[in-house]
Structure 1
Amino acid sequence: VLESEDLQNSIKPQKVEFHSLNFNNTLQWQPGRAGEAKAAVYFVQYKVYGQSTWQNKEECWGVQDHFCDLTDETADVQEPYYGRVRAASGGVYSDWSLSCRFTPWRETMIGPPTVNVVQSNKSIIVKLQAPRSPYRRKRGSTIPMTNYYDLLYQVFIINNLLDEQHRVLVYEGKDKVVKIEDLRRGVSYCVVAKTYVPTLDRSSAYSSRQCTML
């Protein structure tokens, strides 16, 4: 009995956490500390905070992965959720390991906008597109993150002649088309952008660089 209790404890999943980008919500965990955990399979359940019954996630029932996509199960982004995981190895089941409470709207990381640049004379026109959630409208298009948040765009320019690491903020606001003027001909410029959510005081990572030579 002691051996199976030891095994129960040593295969129990560790660090059960939600990871979320643009409402793509994944429950992740680390295997237990035992060598036997290598051969373990995992079972995932989830529930809305306040509910008494846990729901099985069928696609993550008896799997060897250390993650489980719960995007569809956590689609009400204002609701708080819990996830939990247990492991089984050699016919022995661990106890459940519980995540912290997870509210997608508060905790998701918002990605950067998509950036396109077009040059015209001594200016650059920057076209921005909001990151998109995985959730779809009735007609099938994915819903942009601007539907859920008051998003601002921050646009930065880099003058490659001066310093490729020095980003200068040239615009902050909601416009999807931004014109950067009075630039120098014959100079290579790059543009990067971020999304910023004032209510949460949260910024995205930088977008990839879009560069052009004037």
Structure 2
Amino acid sequence: MQNLKRKMRPEILITAGGVMTCLQVLLQFCVLPIIASTVQPPRNLKFSSNNFQHILTWEDPNYELAVYYKVEYSKDYRELVPTRDCTNITIPRCDLTKDFTDIFGNYAAQIQIFTHNESSVPVFSPSLNPISDTWLGPPIVDVISDNNGLQVSIRPPVSHLWSEKEQRNVTMLSDNVYPLLLYTIQLVKDSAQTQVKETEAGDEIYTELIKDSVGCSNYCVSVNASNELNEHSVESPMKCILTKPPHVRCDGRVYWIVVIFVVVVVVVGLVLFTNILHQAGGVCRKHILTPDVLECFPWVKRFLDDNNELSPLVYIPLEVLRAENKQEQMTEQGTDTNISILTKNGITV
């Protein structure tokens, strides 16, 4: 028995050594092409999907080599299929919109970099399910102001969903894609108050009426679209508008009301200003003020007070004034002398 064991051991060792040698040779043959190849595989593969437009991008570490890219894809983990437009390209980008036509399928792409003599190891991208992974938005939003408030019209986002049967892009709001879209409307009133409204729409054009009884308010509106199968949404840019005052038509009546009001204010101001000047004696004076120099002549003061209107200037010679002074002196001395002086203008003094 011991001799038999001794005879079997060399055979077993030789058999085990042969197996190890074969494995080493096979491993060398498998690793040799990878070591010998100088073409590096692509990296950082990712999908960018918006409104069913699927773009695959990657990074190429072979900066100094003239390389080409070959893209193939697999649906539901089946065999690889060549793409339409990315079989032999030179840019690290591939549009797979017309390849991923089944919105409920699971797609994955394989990229391989090659030169005229060598090729890299093929690399797979992450999987993509169009119906749930694509980003929806932004919706098309129009805002109009009327006498009742604000009218917001919403249409679905621009769709890039390709139809092989119709050979064109079809809308995403349909029974075959999304029967309903959930619109989330965000309202910002006068940069302070914020409201959020959610509504489902199954028509191409949906209209939301926002009542505003006060008017003259600044509204800013933003909308995003989503579905129960897809919650990835992109908001539309803010659109701002000033609502009209209630029951006021912008046809020029307000302009004329403002003009009439301004004219009335100017007229009233002129009347008040004229009255003030009249009270101050600046215009329409009824009485003539006697200068202080003439207050010593009683007959001049009496003459001016008896006339309500301006009298023409009277020339009185200096001799007359001296005679009047002399008469006043004689009167004070008790001399009863009557002096009658006739001026050149026929006035008897």
- Establish whether residue 145 from structure 1 lines up as the match of residue 172 from structure 2: yes
Q: TM-score, normalised by structure 2?
A: 0.53
User: What SS does the aligned partner of 2:221 have?
Assistant: strand
Offset of residue 63 of structure 1 = 1.6
* Equivalent pair of 2:54/2:97 in contact (CA under 8 Å): yes
2:144 maps to a residue whose letter is V
> Residue 147 of structure 2 corresponds to which residue in structure 1?
121
Q: Distance in 2 between matches of 1:68 and 1:140?
A: 20
> Which residue of 182, 187, 195 corresponds with 2:217?
187
* Equivalent pair of 1:154/1:171 in contact (CA under 8 Å): yes
Task: Give the structure, 1 or 2, with the largest relative contact order (CA under 8 Å, sep 6 or more).
Answer: 1
Percent identity between the two aligned chains: 22
> Residue 168 of structure 1 corresponds to which residue in structure 2?
195
User: What SS does the aligned partner of 2:86 have?
Assistant: strand
1:198 maps to a residue whose letter is E
> Residue 209 of structure 1 corresponds to which residue in structure 2?
238
> Residue 71 of structure 2 corresponds to which residue in structure 1?
44
Offset of residue 191 of structure 1 = 1.0
1:15 maps to a residue whose letter is N
Of structures 1 and 2, the larger Rg is shown by 2
User: What SS does the aligned partner of 1:158 have?
Assistant: strand
Please give the root-mean-square deviation of Cα atoms over the aligned residues, in Å.
Answer: 2.6
Q: Distance in 2 between matches of 1:2 and 1:139?
A: 46
Question: More strand by proportion, 1 or 2?
Answer: 1
> Residue 20 of structure 1 corresponds to which residue in structure 2?
49
**Structure 1 segment 126-137 matched on structure 2, within 5 A:** 126-134=152-160, 135-136=162-163
Deviation per CA, 1:69-114: give whole Å up to 9, x if none. Answer: 1111110111111101111246321111101222111211111210
User: What SS does the aligned partner of 2:131 have?
Assistant: helix
Change in Cα spacing, 1:143 to 1:180, as seen in structure 2 (3 Å) is same
> Residue 26 of structure 2 corresponds to which residue in structure 1?
none
- Establish whether residue 76 from structure 1 lines up as the match of residue 102 from structure 2: yes
Q: TM-score, normalised by structure 1?
A: 0.83
Change in Cα spacing, 1:22 to 1:162, as seen in structure 2 (3 Å) is closer
* Equivalent pair of 2:139/2:158 in contact (CA under 8 Å): no
Deviation per CA, 1:6-54: give whole Å up to 9, x if none. Answer: 623xx2111222221111112211112x4336x43211111212322x2
Q: Distance in 2 between matches of 1:57 and 1:137?
A: 15
Deviation per CA, 1:170-213: give whole Å up to 9, x if none. Answer: 3433271000112642222111101022344x141210222211
User: What SS does the aligned partner of 1:36 have?
Assistant: coil
Q: Distance in 2 between matches of 1:43 and 1:212?
A: 51
Q: Where does structure 2 lack aligned partners over 5 or more consecutive residues?
A: 1-31, 244-349
Q: Where does structure 1 lack aligned partners over 5 or more consecutive residues?
A: none
Change in Cα spacing, 1:2 to 1:141, as seen in structure 2 (3 Å) is closer
Number of residues of Structure 1 aligned to a counterpart in Structure 2? 205
1:181 maps to a residue whose letter is K
Offset of residue 117 of structure 1 = 0.9
